[in-house]
Amino acid sequence: MKLSELLHGIRGMNTLNVKEATVDIHHIEMDSREVRPGTLFFCINGYTVDGHDFAQSAYEKGAVAIVSERPLDVPIPVFVVRDTKRTMAQLSNRFYDHPTKKLQLIGVTGTNGKTSVTHILEQLFKGQNRTTGLIGTMYTKIDDVYIETKNTTPESLVLQQRFQEMVDKQVDTALMEVSSHALHLGRVRGCDFDIAIFTNLSPDHIDYHQSMDHYMYAKSLLFSQLGNTYEGKTAIFNGDDQVADQLIQMTTADIITYGIKKQADVMASNIRAAATGTTFTLTVFGESIEVQTRLIGLFNVYNVLAAVSAAYVSNISLSAIQQGLESIEGIAGRFEAIDSGQDFAVIVDYAHTPDSLENVLKTVQDFANNQIRVVVGCGGDRDKTKRPIMGEIAVKYADETIFTSDNPRTEDPNTILQEMTAGLDRDQYRLIVDRSEAIHYAMKQAKTNDIIIIAGKGHETYQEVGRERTHFDDREVARAALKERIK
């Protein structure tokens, strides 16, 4: 693509002469380390470093043009804009030829449940022989090919490239987790969502957003940006969540509500929860069917309702939805049972917020007929306000609480544990900083019919200490500990 074509209509200070305007752009990058000959480089002033400082290095690696927020002394065209991130989203969309216009795009936002809802949807669509793409916390997946990712919702430049790959692979439906950070940082600018789903809002990421109002505002952007351009957009809300009504006011898209408590378009009633799965009556716009799923817990009924609403809007019939839900096995690291034939239950779950921890512990309490032991920690360099709350929730529901490390990152793990236990009496918990030791300890204590919940890391396969990630998988450690017990 010619530089002039790519920059067409973009406002900014530009030093392009005729020759420069015809430069061919073969790649676009925001990281100087990725620059190859023929690249347009975006200078992003980040949280850690300023990308403008890498302009010279980008030039030396073959960059042929630069988009920046200030004039730069490099011998290639520099196009100066007010906000490079915004321009990058717009140009990425253009460079990859507006890929999201060529597929159905479903975005899911909310504090908890995004990964779960996108995975339930993936199963429902795949059951209809649809070709899906998925972008989220665990990976990006294009049909059946997995791509590693760093962020739940990648930067616009990566996002649009992935969507283009999806279009090339004939993906017809893309399912995407949309984090509040991504909305706030404009990573999804230019994404043509057809359906936007809201799961719930509860305290998290206050370190980043500063207040719940700002956090909600970030989430609301997914809905305020939906439906203003043309018809055929649907916004789906958990009507039982207290901010649903506010979010509904923010969109001009068609609305669907789901829930259990308040009257909604899509509802679950007569819910029968068991340790092996959940059955309930599903009512969609007045039509009812019985559904059965292996997913456990009331929170997962909400996730199913969110997915059902989007599937229904996408013309999947209720009977197909019913069949699809029955065949879902489970989601990695989400209430994942570790079964080595032991006479107690071991569950690995990704609960890392107060609300999710409470939900998961309430769920096991419903089934428990002996003691509940929980192994849990809080991430370093993340929201500190949730630490004492999660500490209190753990001891409230569990008979034995073992606080341990969960990605301490650059913080001292002992300080994180002190903050988690600040409001507790010393005899209410045990501290075992080493996560592997903590899991082994819990296993050793377990008696017949106990339930052990290992919370916070779910599918993660690393422990991040300092800036280093070393291999660590709760599921592997749990299995090893069970083996040791049997010996």
Ligand X SMILES: Nc1ncnc2c1ncn2[C@@H]1O[C@H](COP(=O)(O)OP(=O)(O)OP(=O)(O)O)[C@@H](O)[C@H]1O
Cite the annotated binding site for meso-2,6-diaminopimelate by residue number.
Answer: 382, 406-409, 456, 460
**How many Å apart are CA 212 and CA 204, to the nearest integer?**
8
Residue 379 C-beta: closest distance to ligand API, Å? 2
**Residue 128 site contact among ligand API, Mg ion, ligand UAG, none (CB < 5 to 8 Å, cut-off depends on kind):** none
DSSP E strand boundaries for 222-265: 234-238, 254-259
Structural contact between residues 347 and 336, judged by C-beta atoms closer than 8 angstroms: yes
**Neighbour-count burial for 388-424, b at 16+ CB within 10 Å, e otherwise:** bbbbbbbbebbebbbbbbbbbbebebeebbebbbeeb
Q: Pattern of binders to ligand UAG over 79-118, x per CB under 6 A?
A: ----------------------------------------
Residue 362 C-beta: closest distance to ligand UAG, Å? 22
Full DSSP string of 146-199: EE--SSSS--HHHHHHHHHHHHHTT--EEEEE--HHHHHTTTTTT---SEEEE-
Residues in 100-129 that interact with ligand X by CB under 6 A: 112-116
**How many Å apart are CA 381 and CA 410, to the nearest integer?**
7
In this complex, which beta carbon is closest to ligand API, that of residue 164 or of residue 180?
180
Judging by DSSP bridges, how do beta strands 345-349 and 451-455 pair with one another? parallel
Residue 352 C-beta: closest distance to ligand API, Å? 4
**Residue 49 site contact among ligand UAG, Mg ion, ligand X, none (CB < 5 to 8 Å, cut-off depends on kind):** ligand UAG
**How many Å apart are CA 299 and CA 363, to the nearest integer?**
9
Stretch that binds Mg ion, among 108-116, 156-164, 206-214, 378-386 (CB under 5 A): 108-116
- Per CB under 5 A, the list member of 114, 382, 440, 459 interacting with Mg ion is 114
**Residue 150 site contact among ligand X, ligand API, ligand UAG, none (CB < 5 to 8 Å, cut-off depends on kind):** ligand UAG
**Residue 132 site contact among Mg ion, ligand UAG, ligand API, none (CB < 5 to 8 Å, cut-off depends on kind):** none
Residues in 178-197 that interact with ligand UAG by CB under 6 A: 179, 181-182
- Per CB under 6 A, the list member of 382, 386, 459, 475 interacting with ligand API is 382
**How many Å apart are CA 154 and CA 176, to the nearest integer?**
10
Q: Cβ-closest residue to ligand UAG?
A: 46
Residues in 444-463 that interact with ligand API by CB under 6 A: 456-457, 460
> Structure tokens of 259?
């829930």
- Give me the helices (H) in 22-176, please: 55-60, 84-95, 114-126, 156-168
Q: Pattern of binders to Mg ion over 154-193, x per CB under 5 A?
A: -----------------------x----------------
Q: Pattern of binders to ligand API over 141-170, x per CB under 6 A?
A: -----------x------------------
- Per CB under 6 A, the list member of 187, 352, 373, 475 interacting with ligand API is 352
Residues in 291-330 that interact with ligand X by CB under 6 A: 299, 302-303
Residues in 186-245 that interact with ligand X by CB under 6 A: 199-200
51 binds ligand UAG (CB under 6 A): yes
Residue 303 C-beta: closest distance to ligand X, Å? 5
Residue of 167, 176, 16 whose CA lies nearest to 100: 167
Binding site listing: 32, 110-116, 151-153, 179, 187, 382, 406-409, 456, 460
Structural contact between residues 109 and 222, judged by C-beta atoms closer than 8 angstroms: yes
355 binds ligand X (CB under 6 A): yes
Residue 464 C-beta: closest distance to ligand UAG, Å? 10
177 binds ligand X (CB under 6 A): yes
Binding site listing for ATP: 110-116
Structural contact between residues 121 and 175, judged by C-beta atoms closer than 8 angstroms: yes
219 binds ligand API (CB under 6 A): no
Stretch that binds ligand UAG, among 175-183, 276-284, 308-316, 324-332 (CB under 6 A): 175-183
334 binds Mg ion (CB under 5 A): no
Q: Cα separations (Å) of 225 from 82, 191, 196, 220?
A: 21, 10, 10, 9
- Per CB under 6 A, the list member of 17, 47, 343, 467 interacting with ligand UAG is 47
Check residue 485 and give left, alpha or beta (phi > 0: left; psi -120 to 50: alpha).
alpha
Q: How many beta carbons lie within 10 A of that of residue 224, not counting itself?
A: 18
Full DSSP string of 289-347: EEEEES--SHHHHHHHHHHHHHHHHTT--HHHHHHHHHH---BTTBSEE--SS-SSEEE
**How many Å apart are CA 58 and CA 184, to the nearest integer?**
27
**How many Å apart are CA 344 and CA 442, to the nearest integer?**
11
Binding site for ligand X (CB under 6 A): 112-116, 137, 152, 177, 199-200, 299, 302-303, 334, 349-351, 355-356, 359-360, 458
User: Which stretches of the chain bind ligand UAG, using CB under 6 A?
Assistant: 30-33, 44, 46-49, 51, 54, 137, 150-153, 155, 179, 181-182
